[in-house]
């Protein structure tokens, strides 16, 4: 009989092909289901089913506020969010904690789970660390780069809680060494962990793309090189670095445009700056925010630019998943050199790296694309380098890590 694994996360799709959620936990659970009986606990969202089965994965969504359409804690960020909206989210927080505790206790006891896998520190790992004083079931933490802002905060109480959660967990799985560095600064000593990078399902990014539809919908010029930006319009995503680089480049080149597939709090500020610099003919914003269009955007573009930075608070939001998706599609990538996060990229081999925050350095890398240099080798290397990140390899590493815990827990 298969051992039972419960996965607790907020990043699970609401339905099949939900393009608004990252694919990591969906792919993780689908592949772990080959070895274990996998169940998922995740917050309920409006229009989503409370009970659902994805192939062999049973999903339970707990409702934490009524009516369900008023649940806003995991609602997509809205740049027009008001003060009252944020107050409403604060009001819902205690109801969320109570609802998740209830769901965890009910499912763990009824399904007799053997291992609980929790995502990031707050709230899921913190809640289960408290419950585990009574439930006594081994806990595995998965920590990704999105926690870097939290880990950089100089709060004694917060650091104390993080250190205790790490000590109580049987194993901590990290996506890269940068997160380990941040955690060791808090714990002041080594902790039991394993670095297992994100996996990628490359199949959707190698399908035949429909680029003409996007060109028509966005009214893009057909004789220009296209630099693609995907992310959020925030400082940490570095959109201002890309715009400054483009402003510098246009003094020498007029054969390129920027295609911005993003939204966020800086949109009005950015639009104002673009008008001041007379760059409306260079910068195009996509209104097609559905992530199912990503393979088409990759196929349409000549390069993907990821100019993320580490901000004043030590926060960075580099998407390793986005890098892996771009490599799968064979699109050349130009990215900031940030610690261990951009490891999949090898400068000059399957993409290019530039010093973060230096738009002059970024402009030099963009010139390589504009100078019509042959890029077949770069594209071929990009698709070859993705093999070590296939989900078959990543899932097997995760299986071995979790399986060892069963052995030690019995002892």
Domain locations in the chain? 4-199+390-410, 203-388
**4-199+390-410 and 203-388: identical CATH topology:** yes
Residue 324's pLDDT is what?
92
Question: Sign of dihedral through CA atoms 251, 254, 255, 259?
Answer: positive
Mean pLDDT of 209-232: 85
Q: What is the pTM of this model?
A: 0.87
The angle, 0 to 180 degrees and rounded to 10, between the axes of the packed helices 126-135 and 156-168 is 40
Residue 174's pLDDT is what?
93
Residues 6+ apart with CB under 8 A from 400: none
Under the banding of pLDDT at 50, 70 and 90, the label for residue 144 is confident
User: Does residue 294 contact residue 321 with C-beta atoms inside 8 Å?
Assistant: no
Determine how β-strand 115-119 pairs with β-strand 57-62: unpaired
Look up residue 103 and give its two tokens.
Answer: 């769901």
In whole angstroms, give the CA distance from residue 348 to residue 352.
Answer: 5
Mean pLDDT of 125-152: 88
Residue 82's pLDDT is what?
59
Indicate whether 377 pLDDT > 60. yes
In whole angstroms, give the CA distance from residue 87 to residue 130.
Answer: 27
CATH topology of domain 203-388: Rossmann fold (3.40.50)
| pLDDT, tens digit (0-9, with 9 covering 90-100), for 265-274 | 899 999 999 9
Mean pLDDT of 271-285: 95
Residue 408's pLDDT is what?
60
Residue 365's pLDDT is what?
95
In whole angstroms, give the CA distance from residue 179 to residue 191.
Answer: 12
Residue 217's pLDDT is what?
79
Task: Report the half-sphere exposure of 17 (CA within 13 A, side-chain side).
Answer: 5
Residue 64's pLDDT is what?
96
| pLDDT, tens digit (0-9, with 9 covering 90-100), for 48-84 | 999 999 889 999 999 999 999 889 888 655 444 556 7
User: Does residue 62 contact residue 97 with C-beta atoms inside 8 Å?
Assistant: no
Look up residue 11 and give its two tokens.
Answer: 């990043």
Look up residue 126 and give its two tokens.
Answer: 């913190």
Residue 265's pLDDT is what?
86
- pLDDT: is 96 or 181 the higher one? 96
Task: Report the half-sphere exposure of 183 (CA within 13 A, side-chain side).
Answer: 30
Task: Report the half-sphere exposure of 278 (CA within 13 A, side-chain side).
Answer: 2
In whole angstroms, give the CA distance from residue 24 to residue 7.
Answer: 12
Residue 313's pLDDT is what?
63
Indicate whether 203 pLDDT > 90. no
Q: What percent of the chain has pLDDT over 90?
A: 55
Under the banding of pLDDT at 50, 70 and 90, the label for residue 320 is confident
Give me the chain's average pLDDT, please. Answer: 88
Mention the CATH class of domain 4-199+390-410.
alpha beta
Mean pLDDT of 36-56: 93
Which of 240, 234, 236 lies closest to 258, judged by CA?
240
In angstroms, what CA-CA distances link 82 with 18, 88, 146, 266, 289?
26, 10, 24, 15, 22
């Amino acid at each position: 009989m298969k051992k039972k694994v419960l996965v607790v996360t907020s990043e699970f799709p609401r339905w099949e092909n939900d393009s608004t959620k990252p694919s990591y936990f969906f792919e993780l659970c689908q592949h772990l289901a080959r070895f274990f009986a996998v169940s998922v606990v995740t917050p309920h969202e409006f229009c989503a089913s409370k009970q659902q089965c994805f192939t062999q994965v049973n999903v339970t969504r707990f409702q934490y506020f009524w009516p369900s359409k008023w649940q806003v804690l995991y609602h997509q960020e809205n740049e027009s969010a008001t003060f009252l909206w944020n107050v409403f989210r604060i009001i819902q927080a205690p109801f969320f904690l109570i609802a998740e505790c209830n769901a965890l206790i009910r499912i763990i006891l009824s399904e007799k789970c053997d291992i609980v896998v929790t995502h990031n520190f707050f709230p899921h790992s913190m809640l289960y660390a408290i419950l585990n004083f009574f439930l006594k079931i081994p806990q595995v933490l998965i920590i990704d780069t999105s926690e870097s802002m939290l880990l950089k905060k100089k709060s004694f109480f917060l650091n104390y809680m993080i250190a205790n959660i790490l000590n109580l967990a049987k194993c901590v799985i990290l996506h890269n060494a940068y997160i380990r560095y941040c955690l060791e600064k808090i714990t002041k000593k080594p902790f039991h962990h394993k670095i297992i990078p994100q996996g990628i399902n490359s199949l959707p990014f190698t399908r035949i793309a429909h680029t003409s539809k996007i060109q028509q919908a966005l009214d893009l010029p057909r004789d220009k090189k296209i630099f693609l930006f995907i992310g959020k319009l925030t400082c940490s995503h570095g959109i201002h670095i890309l715009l400054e680089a483009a402003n510098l480049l246009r003094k020498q080149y007029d054969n390129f445009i920027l295609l911005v597939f993003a939204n966020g709090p800086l949109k009005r500020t950015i639009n104002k700056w673009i008008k001041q610099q007379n760059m409306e003919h260079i910068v195009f914003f996509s209104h097609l925010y559905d992530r199912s269009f990503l393979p088409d955007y990759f196929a349409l573009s000549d390069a993907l630019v990821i100019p993320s930075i580490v901000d004043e608070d030590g926060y960075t939001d580099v998407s390793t998943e986005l890098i892996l998706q771009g490599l799968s599609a064979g699109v050349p990538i130009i990215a900031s050199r940030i610690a261990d996060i951009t490891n999949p990229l090898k400068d000059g081999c399957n993409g290019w790296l530039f010093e973060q925050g230096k738009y002059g350095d970024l402009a030099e890398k963009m010139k390589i694309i504009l100078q019509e240099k042959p890029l077949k080798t770069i594209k071929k290397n990009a698709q070859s380098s993705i093999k070590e990140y296939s989900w078959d390899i990543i899932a097997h590493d995760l299986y071995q890590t979790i399986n060892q815990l069963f052995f030690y827990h019995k002892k």
